[in-house]
Amino acid sequence: MLNIADRGADDIDTETVLYFVRHAHSKYEHGRELERGLSDSGKAEAMAACRRLEKEKIEVFVSSPYQRAVETLAPLAEYAAKTIKLYDALHERLVSGEQDLGPERFAEAKRRCYEDPDYCPPGGESSRQARSRALPVIGQLLREHAGKRIAVGTHGDVLTLMLGSWDPQYDYSFWQQLSMPDVYRVRFDGMAFAGAERIRYNSSVSLERGD
């Protein structure tokens, strides 16, 4: 089990809770990673997730800059009367580069990325690279918002890679069973990972590719 970062500030001993919110369904369109938003069903699912999380009293909202992640978190941020701060380092890991691989080759490339953390698909990003850019954001959040409840708008790969850095059970198989949206409550004791649990709510699961 790995700590989020070099503690440095050992006086951070408060429990902080992060809610990793994987985006709702977004129809896949190759080459439109940044701007493609939620489908109609995805918007309904985002509202369902929002209703489930309202009672969690989340205080801070951050997200990947990708539109589908922002739109998923937006209903909850609006309910809490908070703004969403965007972090580019939380964007999804690119696997297919400039070429649309199609479902079968995409799945194979994804599997290989998890089996070999240094494998970098052509035009894409390795698991180690993606994890290395995302984790410092979490460390920053834990230092700046110690003791608070923080919602993080994220993606399937980045969510899995971050959780996997703290607990190896979060691997390719875990990524495969994620739904859109999906929510994990992740607790930290200071800067140290203290466990994660899935938050369930009334939802349908979309199996169509919309990563």
Domain-located, residue 5: no
Asked whether the predicted pLDDT for residue 101 surpasses 90, the reply is no
Domain-located, residue 32: yes
Domain-located, residue 108: no
Which tokens go with 24?
């709702």
Domain-located, residue 100: no
Domain-located, residue 125: no
- For the chain, what is the domain count? 1
Laid out side by side, the sheet with 60-63 consists of 85-86, 60-63, 149-154, 15-22, 182-189, 192-198
Domain-located, residue 97: no
Beta strands in the chain (DSSP E): 15-22, 60-63, 85-86, 149-154, 182-189, 192-198
Asked whether the predicted pLDDT for residue 89 surpasses 80, the reply is yes
pLDDT value at position 99? 62
Domain-located, residue 61: yes
Cα separation of 53 and 76, whole Å? 7
Which tokens go with 47?
């509202």
Is pLDDT larger for residue 74 or for residue 210?
Answer: 74
Supply the pTM of this predicted model.
Answer: 0.88
Domain-located, residue 24: yes
The CATH number given to whatever domain includes residue 156 is: 3.40.50.1240
Is pLDDT larger for residue 181 or for residue 201?
Answer: 181
Asked whether the predicted pLDDT for residue 19 surpasses 50, the reply is yes
The model's pLDDT over 119-161, given as tens digits with 9 standing for 90+, comes to 998 888 999 999 999 999 999 999 999 999 999 999 999 999 9
Q: What residues make up the domain containing 161? A: 15-91+134-198
